[in-house]
Structure formats: structure tokens, C-alpha cells
Amino acid sequence: MAFDLVFFGGTGDLVWRKLMPALFQAYRHGSLPEGGRIIGVGRDDLSDEQYRQQIQTRFEQVEGEKRPNSEEFARFAALLCYVRMDLSKPESYAALAARLAERETDHVVMYLSTAPSLFTTVCEQLAASGLNTPKTRIVLEKPLGHDLASNRAINTAVGQVFKEQQIFRIDHYLGKPGVQNLFAMRFGNALFEPLWRREHIANIQITMSEELGVEKRGGFYESTGALRDMVQNHALQLLCAIAMEPPINAHADAIRDEKLKVLRALKRWTPETLTQHVIRGQYAAGNVDGHPVPAYRDEQGVSPSSNTETFVALRTEIANWRWAGVPFYIRTGKRMASREAHIEINFRPTPHDIFKTPVGQVNKLVIHLQPKDGLELHLFAQGQSKRGQGGGAALSPVHLDLDFDKRFGSERVGAYERLLLDVLDGRLNLFVRSDEQEEAWRWVEPILQHWTADPVGPRPYAAGTWGPSASSAMIARDGFCWSEEL
């Protein structure tokens, strides 16, 4: 399958740090279709060879096992070329059109790794240059807008140039192996489905925490914040994967139809729930791994009086038959105690306890997404028999641990590698449809409006902790706690 893959923003951070290494891994694994060409687009005045040298230099910063040796890179570099473009000038698109016309391909993929403000301009110019052909696919990197209105504007503009089946709105979390196994666990096995409902599940917790701060992205983060950066897309997509009904088949629209139903069923916010069930925080100075780190307001590119949130914790419910009354908790933040992403399904206690189970502990299923990738099933078992005063035997917690990295090893495919291959193959299953995206913004927008009118601002929390204490108080009101607090 001959293809041209065009990276707008081809000299940018995302391309050299994530996308090029992912393509190289696909090339190394033999899964990248033959007959491909990868075209970097940027403002710098570079020849094809200079662009290849720049990518090779960047590859030296890739982690060891994923770094190509000189012979491997030489073969991969033969796929790379470069076109200098000013994305605001129509004549630049004529130069790209001439480069693409050099050969016949089955598909042309335009990957917009640029500021979202340029999406409309690029799509309009592609159409004006005749580059929006039926064989063209376009990939839109997040964030798609900063609120519902801007998201609709982008989707409308892109939709006037490309059909919905040509548009791939990428969310790299959906490409993670752990998320793939979440779908496989739910819809490829019969074990959990009878338990996957309000009668058996007490609460569900989604945690996505990072030890890192904003690093050198303070300027970007100031206009984004944790709610837009993590909750509106990644966290809600995970929630949909957990809560959706089984689709009728594995086709893209069947899956996305069920995710949309979940988003539409999320309880709408009220002034009371916005005050009690949404916590925002901002990291202060603290220690991470024994090293002092600065406060968010002292980071490069951040205003000394910034009210941008680096932490969000919230409680929501899904108003449908399966999940009525089950609280879903979402928590995400920077400069937290550890880097991890996991989903915790906490089951209800036994209806009649004839044993002495450990106080405060329940059966639970933990789905690890990063850095560990696997499943843990937490149960109770009896070791050496001990009798308590009530005559019941005391139980101890045990767990079954399935580590997917150990089980599958080198067979694992990274998130961007998986998603790029899906784009080249035309599979939309792991990409977000426009109505999904708009529904997520519609649910998030009242939070943004509430914060705009809130004079208090985000609660401070020390770097290296699990966020402000109000997050623990929020979940404690329901009689639950975060896993590290057990």
C-alpha cells in the first residue's frame, strides 16, 4: 500500500519525540506498509538530507531499546523528505502539491501537529490547492478548541472540506495497550459482564497522575489547565470505555455510538454539585524523589498570580439503568506523589458477612494503564485458620496479578504506533467522532464557567503529594477513599 504521510509541524516537539519514534518502531516491526513516504513540513529552510540529519540527532534522545543503530536509521531515513512551508501562504501549498504529485499513492495522510488555531487555515488551503481528494485522510491532534464554541467552529470548518470518515481526531490514550485490554476484557470475556452494574459495583475511580511539572510548557499550560488537558478528553474517554454498553459489533460507529450515549447520560452540573463535587488545585513548592521542586507560579512562562489548575478531582454519576447511583471519581494532576494511570473498580461488600474481612477493604479490580500495564483482581482468602471471638474465620487480602508486559513482551505496540497504523489502514475505531467531542465539551463547560466566577481560585497542594485535602474530603462524604489512603 503506497502512502504519503505529511506531518505539518514536522520540526516540532511532538513529531521528533513521539511520532517519528513510533513510525520507526512500526518500520522495525515490519508493520509499516511498504511503499511509504514521510514528509515533514515546517518553516525552516532545510533540504531532505538536512531534515534526515535533524531527525537522526533527535533520535539520540530516544530511550535505549527504541533507538535505531546507524544502519537501521539509514534504511528508515530513505522514507523521509521535507517541504518548506509557510502555512498562511497559498503558494506554499502549491509546493506541497507538486511534491505529492511526484508519484501515485493509495492514500495521503495529513497529520496536523500544529497549534489548533491553524487547523481551519490549513484545511481551507488544502481544499483550495485541490489536496482534499477522496484518498486524503486528515489527523487532528488535540486540543481541539478551548471550549464548546471553538470546538464546534473547528469541526464545522474541517467538515466543510473533508467527510467525517476522512477525519481522525486523535487521543493517544485510546491507543495505549492497557485501554485496548480494557475493551478486550469487557467485550471479549463473559466473566465480568454479569457483575458490571450498580447491583455489584460500589464506585469507580480513575486516576491519572504525573510526577513532572509543566517543564518548559508553562506558556501552553497557562491557556489550557488540567481540566482541558486531561479530563475533557482522556479521562472522559476512559469513563466511556468503562461504562458503555456492549456495541453490536466492532465497527467504529457502533463503538462510538455507545460512547456517545454515556456522555449524554452524565449528570448535568448544578450550582451545588459544582461547589461540592469539583476540586481544583495548583502545586506549590515541594519535594519529588527527595529533590526540591518549584511551585507552579515559579515555573518558566507562568504568571506569578496564575489561577490555572494543575489538579482536578471530581465526582459524577451516569443517569441510566446500569449505573444509577454509582459514583465515578476522576482525579488527575501534575507534581503528584507518583506517575501512574489506573482505573479502580470497587465492588460492594458481601451482603451477609460470615467471615472477618479486613476492615475498610473490598474486592476490587484494578486496571493499570501506565507505567505498569495489566490487571489486578483483589480478593480475600483464608490462610492458617484463626478463630475470632465471634467464631468467624479471619480472612486476608490476596490478589491475582496479570502483567501484560511480562506476558506479551516485545509483542506490545505503543500508543502512537498503533494509532498511526490505524490511520494508514483507515480504521476509525480508536478515534473520536465530532458529536462525542462536542458532548464532552458541553459537560465540561459549566465547570469552566463556574471557575471564571469563583474568586477563591485553585487550592494549593505541596508538590510530591496526592493533591489538596479537599479531594479526600469529597470522596469521604460518600464513605469511600482513594486507594493510597487505605
Active site members = 234
Cβ atoms 33, 21 nearer than 8 A: no
Element containing residue 253 per DSSP (H, E): helix 252-265
The answer to whether 150 and 224 are in contact (CB under 8 A) is: no
Residue 166's closest CA among 134, 143, 144?
134
The answer to whether the Cα torsion of 9, 12, 13, 16 is positive or negative is positive
User: Do 382 and 358 contact (CB within 8 A), yes or no?
Assistant: no
| H or E segment to which residue 461 belongs | strand 459-462
Identify the DSSP state of 160: T
Give the strand order in the sheet containing 80-84. 80-84, 36-42, 3-8, 107-112, 136-140, 167-169
Residues facing residue 158 across a β-bridge:
none
Distance from C-alpha of 457 to C-alpha of 165, rounded to nearest angstrom: 41
User: Chain centroid to CA 108: how far?
Assistant: 25
Residues 65 and 410: their CA atoms lie apart, in Å, by 11
* Residue 62 DSSP label: S
In 17-105, DSSP assigns E strands to 36-42, 80-84
Q: DSSP letters of 364-385? A: EEEEEEESS-EEEEEEEE--S-
Rounded to an integer, what distance in angstroms lies between the CA atom of residue 460 and that of residue 479? 24
C-alpha cell at 192: 465480568
Q: Residue 37 corresponds to which cell in the numbers above?
A: 513516504
CA–CA gap between residue 139 and residue 111 (Å, rounded): 5
d(CA 86, CA 91): 9
CA proximity to 326, closest of 193, 486, 197: 197
Instruction: State the cell numbers at 405.
Output: 508486559
Residue 23, Cβ density class (10 Å: 0-12 exposed, 13-18 middle, ≥19 buried): buried
Rounded distance between C-alpha atoms, residue 375 and residue 399, angstroms: 10
Helix (H) or strand (E) holding 329: strand 328-333
